[in-house]
Amino acid sequence: MRFKWESDSPSTELTVFRQLTPDGLMSGLASQWMNPFVIIDSEVHRLWKETLVNLLDSACGVFTLSALEEEKSPGTLEALWETMAESGVKRDTCAVVIGGGLTCDVGALAASTFQRGLSLLLIPTTLLCMVDACLGGKTGINLRGLKNQVGSFHPADEILLFPEFLSTLPKREFRSGLAEALKTALIGDPSACSLIREISADSGLLDTAAELAVRCLAVKAGIVGEDLRESGTRMILNLGHTVGHALESIGSFALSHGEAVGLGLAAEASMAGELGGDRNLAREIQDMLEEIGLPFTIPEIPVLQDMADVLDHDKKSRRAARRWALPFGWGDCRIVELTPEQESSILPSALASLKA
Ligand SMILES: NC(=O)c1ccc[n+]([C@@H]2O[C@H](COP(=O)([O-])OP(=O)(O)OC[C@H]3O[C@@H](n4cnc5c(N)ncnc54)[C@H](O)[C@@H]3O)[C@@H](O)[C@H]2O)c1
């Protein structure tokens, strides 16, 4: 399965492979990806190094990275640059990044900055990365406890999807990916909910997971292809993320990214309900989160001031009014500007609706 999308950046090719074997992996690689610099999640390296042996052996250098939000940092980026320099990486060396969204964010940022930009192949290994993070070119590291404060737009030249990686993914991470897929279903493909339900009941359905990834990426590609640098329509992909990122940061990353986004979707649906949206939607989203096995309530509601402090550092903020991507209904998500007064009148009750 392949699709290409065009933007003001190089086109990205997506290829889905059912079998992941040492030879299958290498035969899937175009000649431009030979002798790469490999950046790989340390857990994926531990679990899959025999399968990846040919690729790893062909690399000019390998950097393993622990997928922890604390490691998504300037220090890791600098260590990556140092290893790239020691490995003799040049402008024409390509970077191959293998891992989840965290490894892809950091690895792609290193690829976009070293020698002013290397070509990039992404091989996502989490469901969240397969359904969302691998496509769209956003790279990033955290700064001062805040998410993705430093980054760039550097779309992958090619993405290879091997759903078989999901066979070793912990259940919690698997469910996080379903939250990100739920976001995409809300934006542009509500019928993908049936796939989400099927996979949440049986995570061994790798073909169904691949189908879900392709469906979600098709929605994302359509949006990103129009607005790579997020000057307008792409902001809709932040659905669930404004509240989600704040919950992640305030909770010192105790919630996984997908868990926080799921809660963010419910809270933001509740906000949209106050603005004329479907008042049942927040409840429907919470029911779906519960069905998937994701957190659908939180024990402690953050105080508004803490939320405001984090949101004011949010890079999506714009002067006095903040732009929110809010779900008004299935397939009806809108970008809305809210003044601080409007926020303080609807955000507290939306957060309170998440109370356990
Ligand atoms: N750039 C984007 O567009 C974008 C979009 C969404 C999220 N993100 C970022 O992605 C990050 C979250 O990524 P994620 O949810 O994919 O998870 P992750 O990269 O944080 O990995 C989660 C855990 O799964 C492990 N893991 C990864 N693949 C595995 C496998 N196949 N088998 C066993 N264990 C495996 C990792 O070691 C880690 O412990 C966040 O930092 C978020 O900000 C980026």
Mutate to test the pocket of ligand 1, among 51, 97, 102, 149 (most ligand atoms within 8 A of CB): 102
Among 45, 72, 175, 257, the one annotated catalytic = 257
In angstroms, the first-to-last Cα distance of the chain is 43
Residues of 58-84 as b/e, b for ≥16 C-beta within 10 angstroms? ebebbbbbebebebbbeebbeebeebb
Catalytic one of 45, 154, 245, 322: 245
**Residue type at 272?**
A
Residue pair 160/123 in contact (Cβ under 8 Å)? The answer is: yes
Report whether 179 contacts 259 (CB < 8 A): yes
Q: Identify whether 319 is a catalytic site residue.
A: no
Q: What is the pLDDT of residue 86?
A: 98
Confidence at residue 18, expressed as pLDDT on a 0 to 100 scale: 82
Closest atom, ligand 1, to C-alpha of 69: 41
Contacts of 338 (CB under 8 A, 6+ apart): 321, 322, 323, 324, 346
Residue 10: what pLDDT? 64
Note down pLDDT in tens along the chain; length 356 residues.
Answer: 567 766 566 678 898 988 888 887 887 788 888 899 999 999 999 999 999 999 999 999 999 999 999 999 999 999 999 999 999 999 999 999 999 999 999 999 999 999 999 999 999 999 999 999 999 999 999 999 888 999 999 999 999 999 999 999 999 999 999 999 999 999 999 999 999 999 999 989 999 999 999 999 999 999 999 999 999 999 999 999 999 989 988 877 789 999 999 999 999 999 999 999 999 999 999 999 999 999 999 878 877 777 877 887 655 555 578 899 999 999 999 999 999 889 989 999 999 998 87
Which of 20, 40, 41 has most ligand 1 atoms within 8 Å of CB, for mutation? 41
Rounded CA gap, 79 and 323, in Å?
A: 35
At 316 the pLDDT is 57
Q: Let me know: does 96 contact 39? Beta carbons within 8 Å.
A: yes
Closest ligand 1 atom number to CA of residue 139:
1
43 lines ligand 1 (CB under 6 A): yes
Tell me the pLDDT tens digit for each residue of 218-252: 999 999 999 999 999 999 999 999 999 899 888 77
Model pLDDT, residue 145: 84
Cα 7 from Cα 224, distance rounded (Å): 8
> Measured in angstroms, how far is the CA atom of residue 68 from the centroid of ligand 1?
9
Ligand 1 site, residue 128, Cβ cutoff 6 A? yes
Catalytic residue check, 171: no
Tell me how far apart the alpha carbons of residues 54 and 25 are, in angstroms, rounded to a whole number.
8
Confirm whether 215 is a catalytic residue. Answer: no
Write down the pTM of the prediction.
0.94
- pLDDT computed for residue 315 by the predictor: 52
Output the CA torsion 314→116→65→123 (10° steps). 90
173 within ligand 1 shell (Cβ under 6 A): yes
Predicted pLDDT at 320: 74
